[in-house]
């Protein structure tokens, strides 16, 4: 049985202190630390970046962000801009990562990675000012699937029980998905790899495999409120709308913002260019939807900008 508490001894590398640095000249209030190992093995995928605002009161509501390359070629740098934009609004933001699917690494290993990262967050909550009682998860493209699994790990018990692990100590308060690719039945080449990995699990652990397919996870009702962003020209729109219907069926509070057809609003446009007017508007709407405390913070910042 995998006991996540046993991972604590492997976290010390992430406790190394590094001086904070500015991340952008036009965002003077935002600081970051990059390439922080959350496990001492220092394997690719076991590093994260943290962004925060020096103008915010601590502890800060915290967002775990999964980038669009999740599962295949995780590239945290592709999410720098959106993480900076969220930090500027008063959040501590973890630009998350985990190992890619490969011959030796499967989904179970990746789920253990994100649980180890959660432990790292707990041990470093004072250092970075994480408020883990107001913890949110976001993901773009394929990162949306891990964001959803991560939330199920924290808020329900089915995946945990199937893996034979203890339930995490925190719950997720809201989920934001940008152009989310969450339909494991999709025939896109990358999703086929994910589906094959799930089917491989099913040969020895059918309960776990079933719990990773959102349509067959009967504990979706334990998810917090979910906000999705897409556009008419977004290849992820069918996944977004399918998840919307599934959440409605399970009586999960959720909403979708769909932008009309426009050349610039391709898949993941919000994370790729958070300065677009559509991106600013959709991020503000997402944060307002997720939590009242967040809404107040967003309103305060917009009134003073």
- Three-state DSSP string of 66-79: ECCCCCCCCCHHHH
Question: Is residue 159 within 8 Å of 211, Cβ to Cβ?
Answer: yes
Q: What is the mean pLDDT of residues 10-16?
A: 37
Q: What is the mean pLDDT of residues 88-114?
A: 94
Which has the minimum average pLDDT: 16-25, 76-85, 135-144?
16-25
pLDDT over 80 at 22, yes or no: no
Instruction: Quickly count: other Cβ atoms within 10 Å of residue 211's Cβ.
Output: 25
Which has the minimum average pLDDT: 2-16, 153-167, 265-279?
2-16
pLDDT at res. 266: 52
Cα separation, 280 vs 259, in Å, equals 13
Question: Is residue 266 within 8 Å of 259, Cβ to Cβ?
Answer: no
Output 151 or 9, whichever has higher pLDDT: 151
Written as six digits, the tokens of 94 are: 């973890």
pLDDT at res. 12: 34
Please tell me what DSSP assigns to residue 46: -
Q: Count the residues in the chain.
A: 305
**pLDDT tens by residue, 186-197:** 988 889 999 999
Cα separation, 116 vs 14, in Å, equals 11
Which has the minimum average pLDDT: 34-43, 164-173, 271-280, 289-298?
289-298
pLDDT over 60 at 251, yes or no: yes
CA-closest candidate to residue 60, choices 14, 28, 92? 92
pLDDT at res. 77: 80
Three-class secondary structure of residue 184 per DSSP: coil
CA-closest candidate to residue 101, choices 225, 195, 32, 23? 195
Output 263 or 113, whichever has higher pLDDT: 113
pLDDT at res. 129: 95
pLDDT at res. 2: 42
Written as six digits, the tokens of 85 are: 């934009």
Give the distance, in angstroms, between the CA of residue 60 and the centroid of all CA atoms in the same chain: 17
pLDDT at res. 79: 86
pLDDT at res. 27: 66
Which has the minimum average pLDDT: 108-122, 196-210, 249-263?
249-263
Distance between terminal CA atoms of the chain? Answer: 51
pLDDT at res. 17: 36
Question: Is residue 50 within 8 Å of 37, Cβ to Cβ?
Answer: no
Average pLDDT of the residues of the chain: 84
Three-class secondary structure of residue 148 per DSSP: helix
Categorize the per-residue pLDDT at 228 as very low, low, confident or very high, splitting at 50, 70 and 90.
very high
pLDDT at res. 3: 45
Please tell me what DSSP assigns to residue 100: P
Question: Is residue 33 within 8 Å of 50, Cβ to Cβ?
Answer: yes
Three-class secondary structure of residue 195 per DSSP: helix
**Alpha-carbon dihedral angle through residues 203, 207, 209, 211, given to the nearest 10 degrees:** 180
Phi, psi of 178 (to 5 degrees): -115, 115
pLDDT at res. 281: 83
Cα separation, 241 vs 166, in Å, equals 33
Categorize the per-residue pLDDT at 294 as very low, low, confident or very high, splitting at 50, 70 and 90.
low
pLDDT over 90 at 4, yes or no: no
**pLDDT tens by residue, 66-84:** 998 778 876 788 888 899 9
Phi, psi of 95 (to 5 degrees): -85, 100
**Residue carrying structure tokens 């991972």:** 7
**Alpha-carbon dihedral angle through residues 22, 27, 29, 31, given to the nearest 10 degrees:** -30
| Model pTM score | 0.86
Categorize the per-residue pLDDT at 278 as very low, low, confident or very high, splitting at 50, 70 and 90.
confident
Task: Using CB atoms within 10 Å of the CB of residue 204, give its burial: 0 to 12 exposed, 13 to 18 middle, 19+ buried.
Answer: exposed
Q: What is the mean pLDDT of residues 268-275?
A: 65
Q: What is the mean pLDDT of residues 11-36?
A: 59
pLDDT at res. 103: 85
pLDDT over 70 at 13, yes or no: no
């Amino acid at each position: 049985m995998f006991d996540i508490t046993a991972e604590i001894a492997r976290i010390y590398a992430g406790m190394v202190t590094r001086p904070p640095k500015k991340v952008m000249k036009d965002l003077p209030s935002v600081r970051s630390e990059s390439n922080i190992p959350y496990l001492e093995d220092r394997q690719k995928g076991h590093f994260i970046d943290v962004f925060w605002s020096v103008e915010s009161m601590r502890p800060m509501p915290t967002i775990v962000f999964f980038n669009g390359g999740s599962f295949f070629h995780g590239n945290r740098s592709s999410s720098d801009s959106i993480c900076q934009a969220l930090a500027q609004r008063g959040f501590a933001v973890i630009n998350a990562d985990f190992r890619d699917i490969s011959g030796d690494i499967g989904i179970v290993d990746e789920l253990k990675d994100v649980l180890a990262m959660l432990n790292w967050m707990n041990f470093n909550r004072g250092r970075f000012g994480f408020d883990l009682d107001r913890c949110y998860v976001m993901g773009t493209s394929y990162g949306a699937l891990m964001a959803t699994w991560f939330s199920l790990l924290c808020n329900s018990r089915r995946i945990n029980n199937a893996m034979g692990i203890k339930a995490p100590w925190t719950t997720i308060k809201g989920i934001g998905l940008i152009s989310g690719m969450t339909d494991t039945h999709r025939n896109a080449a990358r999703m086929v790899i994910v589906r094959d990995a799930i089917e491989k699990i099913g040969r020895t652990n059918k309960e776990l495999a079933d719990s990773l397919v959102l349509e067959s996870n009967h504990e979706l009702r334990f998810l917090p409120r979910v906000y999705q962003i897409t556009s008419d020209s977004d290849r992820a729109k069918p996944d977004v709308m399918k998840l919307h219907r599934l959440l409605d069926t399970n009586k999960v509070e959720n909403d979708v913002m769909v932008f009309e057809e426009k050349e610039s609003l391709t898949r993941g446009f919000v994370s790729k260019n958070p300065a677009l007017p559509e991106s600013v508007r959709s991020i503000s709407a997402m944060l307002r939807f997720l939590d009242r405390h967040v809404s107040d913070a967003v309103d305060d910042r917009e009134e003073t900008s």
